[in-house]
Every structure is written in C-alpha cells, then in structure tokens.
Chains A and B, each alone.
Chain A
C-alpha cells in the first residue's frame, strides 16, 4: 500500500471539498473494496477522506411514498429493514445473495453501487487492462473470459459490474442523490448513472470529480412478486455468472434486470413487453447484439434458463 494522509469529514459538502483539494484523493466508507485494491496498488490515493461519521445512515420515508436510503446504510441493515423486506423484497434478496456476512456488515449502499469490477486482469498488475491503465490493452479479450460481459462491451473492455444490489436498484428505478464540492446537489436516475466502457472503460459512471453520493432513493412500492435468482460457481459467497432480478405482476407484466452479463446492471425496458411470451422472447431482446467469447457464450442460454425459472417460480 502506498502511504496516504487521512482525515475524518465533518459534513458531506466538506468531504467533497476535501477530496477535490488533492488530485487522486478518495472517499472511504466501508472500505471493503477500496482497501482490497489499495493493498495490490491498483488504487493508490494520496489522501483518504473518511465519511463514516456523517450520519448518512438512516432509511426514511420520502414525500413521494418511497424511501430514502442513506449512503452509509450498511448492506446488512438495508437487507434487514422491515420496510425493505415488505415492499422492496427484491433488494433484500439481492443484498443477501452478495458477499459474506462480515462484508455486508461493513459495505455501504453507495459503496456497493461504486464497486469496481472483479475481472482478474484488472486485479493483476502484470496484465494489460484499459480500466486500470488506460491505453494498455485488454488481456481479458484473449484471456480467460468465462465470467466476463456479453452485452454493453467494447473492444477496450469486457469487464462485468459485480454488484447484486445495483441490479435490484435498477429494476426498482432507484435514483442516486449527490453533493458536489460547491454544495450543489443533484438526483441521478440509476438508468443514467452508469456508463458503458466504450473507449474509456476507466470512466464507470457520471459522477463528477469529488462528487459524493449522499443517498439512494426508492420510488413508491410497485407490488408484485419479487425474485432475485443468482447463478454462481458456489452456492454462497461467489460473484454471479448470471443473475436475474424480476418484479412480476399477476397480469403477466413486470420488470427484469440482469447481473453478471454487462459492465452495468442490465435492463432493457422494451424487452419487458415480451414477458407474457416467455423467457426466450425476453432474452432475445435483452441480449440483442450480444458479443460473446467462446468461453462466455454459455451465458446467453444461462440467462434464458434462469429467467425461465424466475417466471415459473413467480407463477407457482
């Protein structure tokens, strides 16, 4: 780990100002991803601004009938909240499908959205990676790519976004609230939050430099049956090969988002009109234009079968 200076922030805007002051400075909350990357020097911030004391850890009702989840609400607490379990069961299901109990006790709501990819070539500093070192190439393209993305990819990067929580947030139409160093705030629908890699895979979202997430809001509950089905190499404590987040209504309509297949939580609203026709029809529009490698081509069939199981479960 490279040496760094450390301070505790006193307010969200002060935290943003402190990060803006020094090039490469970073916020730290749960730290479960950042410190992991700092140990192998994929990340080497010269300054850390600890936002844990900012009190952004409440889950409160919004005027619109939804919930505002503070940026620092731990994954365990969000999953266990009675309102989330009752009205946003998909979110609880996605949260408890991710990581381990120890990590969920530390990991925060905002940090989960900002997780970096688990692409092994991003972690291996002896390999080419455009996300870690722009312009160095992508070792995954000709490497071991079984876990990699099949939609939204580019010639520069085929890494997947590793979050389970973000997939549920995407299906639930969550929005991200932020503050900038000048104190201005904004609200970003999660559909507009992530960026596809294109030729700049190191740019993963629309946040400006030193912009701090303060909360994630959930719109009023939509009812329906909530299912999160994660397919992985181990039954627990493993990242998704494919995951399906779905909210299905009794009339056959619904929402579907996918994890494990793209550089961001993957949802194509137009594909959802095909839900009454079944998993095959939905999958073909969700994964239209898929660019697979020989190793990850099986994910197309895996999505269709997993979605089929989800639809069958919801109807049972």
Chain B
C-alpha cells in the first residue's frame, strides 16, 4: 500500500497544530524544537584541565564549549579548522590520547586530563612532521582548509593499521590489517576535501607509510 495517500489527514492535523501554536505563542509555525520545555537557562561555567601539544592548559569554559572551540577560540590554536561543525567533514580532526576524533563533536569539559595533539603539536615550520612535508611535496591540497584535519587523521590511520584495526575493505578480518591504497581511501573517508586533492593526499600518506619521506 502506498502511504502517501495518508498525507491529507496528516496535513489537516498539521494545519490545526500550526493554527494553535500561532494563536498561543505568535511564533512562526513549527519552530518548536525539543520535547523538553524551552525555559530560559543561564550559561554554566566550569573548569577543565588538559594537556595540549605537551603543555598543560587550564580553562574556565561554558559547558557548551566543544573541544574544537576551546582549541580555536580560547587557546588560539587556529590550525584545527571548523568546517561543518557536525562531524561530517573531518576538518576538526585532532588526536586525543593518541586517537583521531572529531573535536567538534565532543565537549571540552569531558576532557579533564586528556592529552590533545593538534596540527601545531605535530610539527613546526622549521621541523615539519613527515606527513606535513609529504603533503607539501605531493601538493596534497589546494586551499588547505581541510589539510590539518587530513594530516591528523592520517596520523591516526597509520597508527590504527599498526594496531591491527580492520576496515570495511579488509578482505580477511581474521588476518592482520595491512596498508594499501584501497585501505587508505576507505579509512580516510571521514575527511572531505572540496578541492578534490584526494589522489595527491593518497600519494603523500603512502610515501610516509613506506618510509620514503
């Protein structure tokens, strides 16, 4: 049975509700969001201490502050980028306790005692991380906005393969994880490059994996 014929009934209920909310609150229709009553609440500030790029950092933050915003807006480590802010693009990827995560989808206050590494902690202009050098050599970017996330993610990918984490394209999950171009492309799929520098990114990471950088 095709259920789109139910639409008229739904629409009638929908219009009724719209009329009610318009009368009661004089707000635009259907802007009500969460089921929890929308009462005004005061911002809450809390302290958190973590280690960022090897240095201790103690911050007093609104509990709503993501790790990404803490890094960029409070510690002024603007290498980590905000792309979508919803975990879909990977521009905000950092390493927390050695693992790559989306810093936009975690709260700073949840990271008491964490060791955070950002692109600034991987290398410096005078002493580049091998992946930074390889991205430059292979032109692994055009605009560069996704690059810090790509590089932090690549550090995580190479470590995950060493730690024998399987992937969607691993043919035999009973065997030890190995590096290949197909594995790399699958494992890097959480990092979007709108300039489309993927083939050069693959070359850069592959060179580091093979120890040629």
Whole-angstrom CA separation of A210 from B191 in the bound complex: 35
Quick one: which of B144-176 are within 8 Å of A by CB?
153, 156-157, 160, 163-168, 170, 173-174
Whole-angstrom CA separation of A139 from B185 in the bound complex: 36
Whole-angstrom CA separation of A31 from B102 in the bound complex: 11
Chain A positions 237 through 254: 1 when the CB is less than 8 Å from some CB of chain B, otherwise 0: 100000000000000000
Indicate if the CB atoms of B10 and A46 lie closer than 8 Å.
Answer: no
Q: Cβ of B153: which chain A residues have Cβ within 8 Å of it?
A: 101-102
Q: Cβ of B32: which chain A residues have Cβ within 8 Å of it?
A: 125, 133, 136
Q: Which of A32-40, A55-63, A178-186, A212-220 interfaces with chain B?
A: A32-40
Chain A positions 97 through 118: 1 when the CB is less than 8 Å from some CB of chain B, otherwise 0: 1011111011000000000000
Q: Cβ of B6: which chain A residues have Cβ within 8 Å of it?
A: 141, 155
Quick one: which of A44-58 are within 8 Å of B by CB?
44-46, 48, 50, 52
The answer, yes or no, to whether B36 is at the interface (CB within 8 Å) is: yes
Q: Cβ of B174: which chain A residues have Cβ within 8 Å of it?
A: 85-86, 89
The minimal Cβ–Cβ distance linking A258 to chain B, given in whole angstroms, is 19
Interface size of B by Cβ–Cβ distance < 8 Å?
66
The answer, yes or no, to whether B106 is at the interface (CB within 8 Å) is: yes
Q: Which of B14, B35, B87, B187 contacts A202 (CB 8 A)?
A: B35
Q: Cβ of B102: which chain A residues have Cβ within 8 Å of it?
A: 32, 102-103, 106
Q: Cβ of B3: which chain A residues have Cβ within 8 Å of it?
A: 141, 153, 155, 158, 291-293
The answer, yes or no, to whether A65 is at the interface (CB within 8 Å) is: no
Q: Cβ of B86: which chain A residues have Cβ within 8 Å of it?
A: 36, 39
Q: Which of B41-49, B117-125, B134-142 interfaces with chain A?
A: B41-49
Whole-angstrom CA separation of A291 from B5 in the bound complex: 11
Q: Cβ of A237: which chain B residues have Cβ within 8 Å of it?
A: 189-190
Whole-angstrom CA separation of A162 from B189 in the bound complex: 18
Indicate if the CB atoms of A137 and B168 lie closer than 8 Å.
Answer: no
The answer, yes or no, to whether B90 is at the interface (CB within 8 Å) is: yes
**Given known A-B contacts A3-B64, A39-B86, A141-B10, A97 and B107 have beta carbons under 8 A apart:** no
Indicate if the CB atoms of A106 and B1 lie closer than 8 Å.
Answer: no
Indicate if the CB atoms of A35 and B2 lie closer than 8 Å.
Answer: no
Q: Cβ of A23: which chain B residues have Cβ within 8 Å of it?
A: 36
Q: Cβ of B189: which chain A residues have Cβ within 8 Å of it?
A: 100-101, 236-237
Indicate if the CB atoms of B30 and A50 lie closer than 8 Å.
Answer: no
The secondary structure that dominates the A interface is: loop
The answer, yes or no, to whether B25 is at the interface (CB within 8 Å) is: no
Q: Which of A96, A155, A202 contacts B167 (CB 8 A)?
A: A96
The answer, yes or no, to whether A134 is at the interface (CB within 8 Å) is: yes
Q: Cβ of B43: which chain A residues have Cβ within 8 Å of it?
A: 3
In the complex, which of the residues A105, A155, A292 has the most CB atoms of chain B within 10 Å of its own CB atom?
A105
Chain A positions 117 through 150: 1 when the CB is less than 8 Å from some CB of chain B, otherwise 0: 0000000011110001111111001100100000
The minimal Cβ–Cβ distance linking A26 to chain B, given in whole angstroms, is 9
Indicate if the CB atoms of B34 and A236 lie closer than 8 Å.
Answer: no
Whole-angstrom CA separation of A134 from B66 in the bound complex: 30
The minimal Cβ–Cβ distance linking B13 to chain A, given in whole angstroms, is 5
Indicate if the CB atoms of B4 and A293 lie closer than 8 Å.
Answer: yes
The answer, yes or no, to whether B128 is at the interface (CB within 8 Å) is: no
Quick one: which of A277-304 are within 8 Å of B by CB?
291-294, 297
Indicate if the CB atoms of B166 and A46 lie closer than 8 Å.
Answer: no
**Given known A-B contacts A153-B3, A237-B189, A126 and B31 have beta carbons under 8 A apart:** yes
The answer, yes or no, to whether A80 is at the interface (CB within 8 Å) is: yes
Indicate if the CB atoms of B63 and A3 lie closer than 8 Å.
Answer: yes
Closest A residue to B90 using CB positions: A102
Q: Cβ of A126: which chain B residues have Cβ within 8 Å of it?
A: 28, 30-31
Indicate if the CB atoms of A31 and B33 lie closer than 8 Å.
Answer: no
Q: Which of B2, B42, B107 contacts A31 (CB 8 A)?
A: B107
Q: Cβ of B75: which chain A residues have Cβ within 8 Å of it?
A: none
Q: Can you list 14 A-B pairs, Cβ within 8 angstroms, ordered by A?
A: A1-B64, A32-B106, A35-B107, A36-B105, A44-B34, A85-B166, A101-B157, A102-B101, A128-B10, A132-B35, A134-B35, A137-B13, A237-B189, A291-B2
Q: Which residues of B come within 8 Å of A, CB atoms?
A: 1-4, 6-7, 9-11, 13-14, 17, 28, 30-38, 41-44, 46, 62-64, 66, 85-87, 90, 93, 99-102, 105-107, 109-110, 112, 153, 156-157, 160, 163-168, 170, 173-174, 185-191
Q: Which residues of A come within 8 Å of B, CB atoms?
A: 1-6, 8, 23-24, 28, 31-32, 35-36, 39-46, 48, 50, 52, 76, 79-80, 85-86, 89, 92-93, 96-97, 99-103, 105-106, 125-128, 132-138, 141-142, 145, 153, 155, 158, 202, 235-237, 291-294, 297
Sample of 7 further A-B pairs with CB below 8 A, known A141-B4, A291-B1: A5-B44, A42-B33, A46-B36, A92-B166, A96-B170, A236-B186, A236-B189
